[in-house]
Amino acid sequence: MSAQPPGDDLLAAAGDRPAVPGLPAADRCLVMGVINVTPDSFSDGGAFADADSAIKHGRQLLAAGADLIDVGGESTRPGARRVSADEERERVEPVVAALNELGAVVSIDTMRASVAAVALDAGARIVNDVSGGLADPDLPGLVADRRVPYVVMHWRGHSDRMQQQASYDDVVGEVCAELSERVAAVVAAGVDISQVIVDPGIGFAKTAEHNWALLAHLDAIRALGRPVLVGASRKSFLGALLGDDDNARPVADRDDATAAVTALAAAAGAWAVRVHEVRANADAVRVVARWRRALEADK
């Protein structure tokens, strides 16, 4: 790992925005740009499946104002089949290495310890595990050894069967309880609590109703005491909201709604948002930060 992450020049963390050791601090919500190096992700599947186009896209995300870049080599869309670990490693390694060379703070989106290890060797600085340590029992231990920040997302099972598990009496209470168990488990595996980031897992074993309830109650997720990452970008619940009765709004036409969610999530104190189109979201988080400063000036 290089000694100093770029972004140290960002403003120091505000009181209610705890800094995560190893990551840039900011007085605003951070923007994590997404690159899916996959042929089949629902949001951008196939667009960046080869390393060159993925790296080119990474440059564009950085130029548009991304603070972090999340690189993934396995689709997690509902119904998706798993790729082999070899294939996943081959997809992500050159992209992580090239973006790290460019000075990006790269996060590796994987559920596998073997893939995370290769990506960390190639310069990734964050592990984003959508399974929160459930899919591969070796992953929390690897993260602990490497002392890197760890995104622990709420998850109930692999994509081929996750929507059957979208059943809750009290979605906010149950997601908080299950997330808090996962945080305790990864800490027991040696991960430093100061490097744990939590994520409610929008769209993962959740109906649209569940997603809206979680977004409306981000305060409950924040009450877990860890920085909160929100990944709502282009997801189906936005397509359903904006489409006609039978036709969801197409994926490529959900970015304005994503920016609206970003503004609300940032105002609710999210630490970062994970998005496909960066510019509007980078603008939105700056508007929210400025708005907050004006409010603070009133005090």
* Closer by beta carbon to ligand PMM, 135 or else 292: 135
* Residue indicated by tokens 């945080």: 183
* Closer by beta carbon to ligand PMM, 75 or else 262: 75
Order of all β-strands in the sheet with 196-199: 196-199, 150-153, 126-129, 106-109, 68-72, 30-36, 272-275, 229-230
| Residue 67 found at the interface with ligand PMM (CB under 6 A) | no
Stretch that binds ligand PMM, among 1-9, 70-78, 219-227, 279-287 (CB under 6 A): 70-78
Q: Which long-range contacts (CB under 8 A, 24 or more apart) does 154-157 make?
A: 154/178, 154/179, 154/182, 154/198, 154/199, 154/200, 154/201, 154/204, 155/130, 155/131, 155/201, 155/204, 155/205, 156/204, 156/205, 157/205
Cα gap 79→178, rounded to integer Å: 23
39, amino acid identity? P
As given in the structure block, the two tokens for residue 280 are 């509007």
Stretch that binds ligand PMM, among 33-41, 57-65, 117-125, 134-142 (CB under 6 A): 33-41
Cα gap 171→178, rounded to integer Å: 10
| Residue 43 found at the interface with ligand PMM (CB under 6 A) | yes
Q: Which of 202, 218, 259, 268 binds ligand PMM (CB under 6 A)?
A: 202
Cα gap 75→213, rounded to integer Å: 25
Stretch that binds ligand PMM, among 20-28, 74-82, 93-101, 167-175 (CB under 6 A): 74-82
| Binding-residue total with ligand PMM (CB under 6 A) | 19
Residues with active-site annotation: 235, 274
Shortest distance, position 109 Cβ to ligand PMM, whole Å = 5
| Residue 34 found at the interface with ligand PMM (CB under 6 A) | yes
Cα gap 244→221, rounded to integer Å: 32
Burial class (CB in 10 A: 0-12, 13-18, 19+), 122: buried
| Residue 211 found at the interface with ligand PMM (CB under 6 A) | no
Pure H helices in 152-207 = 171-188
| Residue 95 found at the interface with ligand PMM (CB under 6 A) | no
Which residues in 167-186 contact ligand PMM (CB under 6 A)?
none
As given in the structure block, the two tokens for residue 23 are 């990551």
| Residue 224 found at the interface with ligand PMM (CB under 6 A) | no
Which residues in 125-154 contact ligand PMM (CB under 6 A)?
128, 130, 151, 153
Which residues in 236-265 contact ligand PMM (CB under 6 A)?
none
| Residue 77 found at the interface with ligand PMM (CB under 6 A) | yes
* Closer by beta carbon to ligand PMM, 93 or else 277: 277
Binding site for ligand PMM (CB under 6 A): 34, 36, 41-43, 75-77, 109, 128, 130, 151, 153, 199, 201-202, 229, 231, 274
